[in-house]
Amino acid sequence: MNATTPRTAIVTGGTRGIGRAVSLQLAREGARVLALYGRNREAAEALEAEARAAGLTIETLRGDLTHPEKFAALVEEIRAKAERIDVLVHCAASGVHRKAAELSAKHVRWTLDINVVAIHELLTALIERMPSGGRIVGITSSGGTRVIPFYSAVGASKGALESLFRHYASELGPRGIAVNLVCPGLVLTDAVDAFPDREARVAKTLEATPSGRLTTPADVAQVVSFLCGPAAAQIIGQTLVVDGGKTLSS
């Protein structure tokens, strides 16, 4: 790759919410972005149209990361489009919002499948295409280490994701690949609409946030981009919290 070859970035969940902002941010910085998504074709087409109008290179690829055949087809498509992968950001997530004791084993497995197992499988399938200098970023949440009402399944998955990424960071560091996580505060995306206590949670978050505002997708995207850039080369296996100071207080 010479100095003018654009970096190729893969962003899972890259067409909506935080992932969408990450796709746009990396593309604005010159990357060629492959934005993955599961089902919402409308959101994917809207992102492609916005990118085209702005002269950015974002291509969207559809495929349920938890479905074995669709996953395999998606990996083949990625391999055909990207001989080299410089950046991989895992934003895709989903989950069942219930109290822990009300979760079935199926709910827990389903949540772990998309939030944790999918990125492990994607890394296994694609890591050979990532050169020294590569960057991998996961998105976790405070629920990975703290209790949030109705967040037991997703919280468990985020705790697992953080541990998995620390191990990947240790294993891939010697190959020149930096693995890190970003932990946003509450960001108003479609995902938050699924919380049964959305309004109360927004009010409580605002009240407890020293910066006086909620975190935006762009706030998160800029920190992801920092972790993917040369200034962050020596940051390995860390979680950067982007929440306006919300988690400073107990």
Ligand X SMILES: NC(=O)c1ccc[n+]([C@@H]2O[C@H](COP(=O)([O-])OP(=O)(O)OC[C@H]3O[C@@H](n4cnc5c(N)ncnc54)[C@H](OP(=O)(O)O)[C@@H]3O)[C@@H](O)[C@H]2O)c1
Q: Considering the complex, state which of residue 1 and residue 194 has its C-beta at the smaller distance from ligand X.
A: 194
Catalytic residue check, 81: no
- Examine residue 109 and tell whether it contacts ligand X (CB under 6 A): no
Nearer to ligand X, 11 or 178 (CB): 11
Instruction: List, in sequence order, every beta strand (DSSP E) within 25-109.
Output: 32-37, 58-62, 87-90
Total residues at interface with ligand X (CB under 6 A): 28
Please indicate whether residue 151 is annotated as part of the active site: yes
Answer yes or no whether residue 146 interacts with ligand X by CB under 6 A: no
Residue with tokens 């989903």: 94
Amino acid type, 174: P
Nearer to ligand X, 176 or 197 (CB): 197
Under the criterion CB under 6 A, does residue 208 sit at the interface with ligand X?
no
Rounded Cα distance between 243 and 210, Å, is 9
At position 4, the amino acid (one-letter code) is: T
Annotated catalytic residue, options 151, 168, 204, 246: 151
Instruction: Give residue for tokens 């509450």.
Output: 186
Q: How far is the CB of 5 from ligand X (least distance, A)?
A: 27
Task: Give the nearer residue to ligand X in terms of CB position, either 64 or 133.
Answer: 64
**Considering the rule CB under 6 A, would residue 65 count as an interface residue with ligand X?**
yes
Q: Which of the residues 37, 81, 106, 158 is marked catalytic?
A: 158
Rounded least distance, CB 19 to ligand X, Å: 5
Q: Which stretch binds ligand X (CB under 6 A): 53-61, 162-170, 183-191, 199-207?
A: 183-191
Query: Are residues 236 and 209 in contact, defined by beta-carbon separation less than 8 angstroms?
Result: no
For residues 145-154, one letter each, b for 16 or more C-beta atoms within 10 angstroms of the residue's C-beta and e for the rest, the string is: eeebebbbbb
The answer to whether 19 contacts ligand X (rule: CB under 6 A) is yes
DSSP assignment of 95-149: ---S-GGG--HHHHHHHHIIIIIHHHHHHHHHGGGPPTT-EEEEE--GGGTS--T
Binding site for ligand X (CB under 6 A): 13, 15-19, 37-40, 43, 64-66, 91-94, 114, 139, 141, 184, 186-187, 189-192
